[in-house]
Amino acid sequence: MKQSVVLYKKIPPDLQQRLEQHFEVRFFDGIKAENREQVIHALSDAAGMIGASVPVRADLLDHAPHLRAISTISVGYDQFDVSDLTQRRIVLMHTPTVLTETTADTVFTLIMMTARRALEMAEMVKAGKWQRSIGSESYGVDVHDKTIGILGMGRIGAAVARRAHAGFGMKVLYWNDMPNPRVEQAYAAQRCELEPLLEQADFVCITLPLTDQTYRLINAQRLAQMRPEAILINGARGKIVDQAALIEALKNGTIRAAGLDVFEVEPLPADSELLKLPNVVALPHIGSATHETRYNMAACAVDNLITALTGEVRENSVNGHLLR
């Protein structure tokens, strides 16, 4: 008899078929109040789960006594309590690498849009308000030859550093718990403490995971350490920034602008003050959202679940090494 798995995000039909070759698949379009009882029922004999964008914690896991693997269609895994999963002997799989370049492109999109005020200017043109040559009040700032400060020099941070160094001639500073000799050599990146990085960078880019240590890392005090001309880019997780403090800093000119793909609460409420600020570019968490990359992530996650439940986990596991 096939093992049963809960699929809680829509994936391309050919990938669902690949799953179905190995498992009995019970599909749910997300996990929400309306279908929670049915999900819990399906979890009662499930060996695996695969999906994204939903916290999967003890309130669900307590109903899944046979669960052995969860495959998240994301690289970030802050929706999970890894030590609880490990205690339950559930392996957590994720999708690093396949989304690195696309997410770095999104970070650079935010850098360009905020620096050149592309959204404001495009909205002005669309509104039919472009009636004469623009004046200095509408100018942006250069990106090339500036200093970028990258918080979290992992996969995505390094891909951002490559674009900054090779494409824009930028000086690269970074803050990371361990040195990254490869980026130091390849992109002349310099590792620094957080405070000097914040004091020097024209662009501060967050590419860190959300953890207890990084929660609200960028608070009012750290925003005040940034240059008034500096731009904050968050392509990682909203909760790494104190959003109320950021709104204040953007309103009172502590920093120039912010480019945000992620927010404390998602979807960002339509009445958020952030949306009223002209110096904010807000995207709906689209870091990896291209057809190619989302397909590759789903394929990676499907293969991860198959390996975790039928083979030997060698890569893409968050806690596999703790379970051997």
**What are the residues binding ligand NDP (CB under 6 A)?**
75-76, 96, 99-100, 103, 152-157, 176-178, 207-211, 213-214, 235-237, 261-262, 285, 287-288
Residue closer to ligand LL5AMS7Z, measured from CB, 83 or 97: 97
What HEC string does the chain produce? CCEEEEECCCCCHHHHHHHHHHEEEEECCCCCHHHHHHHHHHHCCEEEEEECCCCECHHHHCCCCCCCEEEECCCCCCCECHHHHHHCCCEEECCCCCCHHHHHHHHHHHHHHHHCCHHHHHHHHHCCCCCCCCCHHHCCCCCCCCEEEEECCCHHHHHHHHHHHHHHCCEEEEECCCCCHHHHHHHCCEECCHHHHHHHCCEEEECCCCCCCCCCCECHHHHHHCCCCCEEEECCCHHHECHHHHHHHHHCCCCCEEEECCCCCCCCCCCCHHHHCCCEEECCCCCCCCHHHHHHHHHHHHHHHHHHHHCCCCCCECCHHHHC
With binding defined as CB under 6 A, does residue 75 bind ligand LL5AMS7Z? yes
Contacting range for ligand LL5AMS7Z; rule: CB under 6 A; set: 69-77, 115-123, 166-174, 300-308: 69-77
Min dist CB 102 to ligand NDP, Å, is 8
Pick the binder of ligand LL5AMS7Z from 74, 243, 293, 317 (CB under 6 A).
74
For the CA atoms of 148, 152, 156, 158, the dihedral, rounded to the nearest 10 degrees, stands at: 60
Instruction: Name the region of 175 (left: φ>0; alpha: ψ -120 to 50; beta: rest).
Output: beta
- Which entry of 237, 256, 264, 294 is annotated as an active-site residue? 237
Q: Annotated catalytic, 237?
A: yes
With binding defined as CB under 6 A, does residue 207 bind ligand LL5AMS7Z? no
Quick one: which of 317, 305, 308 has its CA closest to 19?
305
Q: Which one of ligand NDP, ligand LL5AMS7Z, none interacts with residue 61, CB within 5 to 8 A by kind?
A: none
Pick the binder of ligand LL5AMS7Z from 288, 293, 307, 319 (CB under 6 A).
288
Q: Which one of ligand NDP, ligand LL5AMS7Z, none interacts with residue 301, CB within 5 to 8 A by kind?
A: none
Pick the binder of ligand LL5AMS7Z from 76, 157, 259, 320 (CB under 6 A).
76
Pick the binder of ligand LL5AMS7Z from 99, 173, 232, 283 (CB under 6 A).
99
Beta bridge partners of 280: 258
* 280-282 and 3-7 beta bridge pairing: unpaired
Contacting range for ligand LL5AMS7Z; rule: CB under 6 A; set: 70-78, 83-91, 166-174, 307-315: 70-78
Min dist CB 37 to ligand LL5AMS7Z, Å, is 28
- Which entry of 266, 292, 315, 321 is annotated as an active-site residue? 266
Contacting range for ligand LL5AMS7Z; rule: CB under 6 A; set: 16-24, 41-49, 68-76, 111-119: 68-76
Min dist CB 165 to ligand LL5AMS7Z, Å, is 24
- Tell me, by CB under 6 A, how many residues bind ligand LL5AMS7Z: 6
Min dist CB 57 to ligand NDP, Å, is 17
Beta bridge partners of 147: 171
Catalytic annotation, residues: 237, 266, 285
* Residues forming the site for ligand LL5AMS7Z (CB under 6 A): 74-76, 99, 287-288
